[in-house]
Amino acid sequence: MLNSSVESNKSSDRTITMKKLIIIFFVILVVIISCKKYEENPLINLKTKTNRIEGTYFIAKYEVNGIDSTSVLNTTIPSIVIREKVGRNHVKQILGGFCYGSWAFEDHKKEMQINIDDRIEYYVGPFVNRVENRWRITKLTDRELHLNATINNISYIVHLHEH
């Protein structure tokens, strides 16, 4: 009789322990899912956001108010280089076609500030001379960067894919 009571208590303890583990697992899962920063991103990425954003990209998609304008931008800016130069000067550079400028993360790395600082006067859309634009990052992986912005009541979508 005593043995069955002891076994029953052990079984009950195991059941409670398993329930606790399942609850802890689900809480961790909910926290991970709710911490996802970018809409289109995978759940987990082990690289830092700065390491993911650095690269040489081509413009895979460029939409202006829902109209595909990729070919217009590709003739002007065939590739875009985004890098963080560390050394004597800590500079975040963005280079594309005939323009160059700087970039910075904003709003807890949910947005990207792009500043074109060049003297060449030929630009397309939001990539204009000496204008600071904030872009919402919707996807940031090792090979893709998706940005959205509304500038002067014009909606822009840019998808960059790494070469």
Predicted confidence (pLDDT) per residue in 28-78, tens digit: 655 555 455 676 666 666 778 888 888 888 889 999 999 998 887 777 777
Q: Is the C-alpha dihedral spanning 58, 60, 63, 68 positive or negative?
A: positive
d(CA 20, CA 7): 20
Say if 71 falls within a structural domain.
yes
What count of residues does the chain have? 163
d(CA 132, CA 147): 15
Predicted confidence (pLDDT) per residue in 78-133, tens digit: 778 888 766 555 567 676 666 677 888 899 889 988 877 765 555 556 666 556 78
Which pTM was predicted?
Answer: 0.70
CATH classification of the domain holding 98: 2.40.128.20
Say if 106 falls within a structural domain.
yes
Say if 20 falls within a structural domain.
yes
- In order of 11, 23, 112, the CA distances from 19 in angstroms are 12, 6, 43
11, 83: one domain: no
